[in-house]
Structure 1
Amino acid sequence: MSLNSLKDVYVDQLQDLYSACAQSHAVMDDLAGAAENDDLRAALEAGKDGIADGMSKLEHLISGHGAEVGGEHCKGMEGLVAEARAHGLEEDFGDADARDAMIITQYQRMAHYAIAGYGCCAAFANRLDFMDEAETLSQMLEAAYSGDRHFSGIAQGQVNRAAAE
């Protein structure tokens, strides 16, 4: 697809976000299964549900523009998921709390990719006067921010302290 307009860029980035979400969704069960901290495990499971909800909304937005949902493969998230697997799951940890700290780190890197994508797409939708879509994307952005803050709270309130002991 040739990107000749802001709308083309917008749809391309919606497809990229969908791919990113699908890839991060696939690693969430593994991260939750490796987490020792109960609050972290529950947050990862809730995060997976949030990602699935986001994918459903993105699918609706993309198909509303007559584009293929799977039209893009997100190389950025591919790398972040590989890092999450390598550093959060495959790395040899002598301490479960240290692994939990790493899992949070890897999750938040993936979440920050989504935050950047949702923010850009919301701005594009606003400029294109796709006001309903802009509102949906703004809500998705806030949900991603909220999840990121929740993980920071788990890290700062429990996991980092335990990992430092």
Structure 2
Amino acid sequence: VDTKLSMKLLIDTKTGKVLFVEAEKNCADFLLHILSLPVSIVIRLLNKEGMIGSLPNQYNSKKYDKLKKMNYIVSEGVKGVVAAKSGFVKETVTYMVMDDLVVKPMSTISSITLLNKFKVKDVGLLQEKVVYFGMKEALKMLKAFFELKTVLTNVFISDAKRRRKEQSETEYKT
């Protein structure tokens, strides 16, 4: 069963971009965890998704053949242990995740500052959207992280537009 996490996107409907996301601890921890994975693990995960670029070529090249294969090791003392207070971020804070996956503590002032930075003149054009994501979307985010600066827009807005377009084309043909 694919466990789903949720986060709240703030979308500028004029530009069609995610300005930032409001995320709780579990979501912020998960994003920071996947971004801290060793490159070899990332490449193995993304190879199934058809990752574009030279990273897999570098990883698979002959000049790395002589290097020992490194394994990701977890100490026997911590295997299977999940502590409620563990993770990358604090529990009582809400986090702001930028479109490029930068994670920061959220505050009213930082939100207003960002709206000014993005030159938002009409807050009526902003849309709030809750999205749920699991491993499939996490892999898409990881892949987009290596290719784009607009990770969240690409995964949650562009994909949704593409699906709607494909659905309307299918309906048109039938």
Fold shared, TM-score > 0.5 on shorter chain: no
Structure 1 or 2: more helix by fraction: 1
Considering fraction of residues, name the structure with more strand.
Answer: 2
Structure ID, larger Rg: 2
Q: Which structure would you say has the larger RCO, counting Cα contacts within 8 Å and 6 or more residues apart?
A: 2
TM-score, normalising length: structure 2: 0.23
Normalising by structure 1, report the TM-score: 0.24
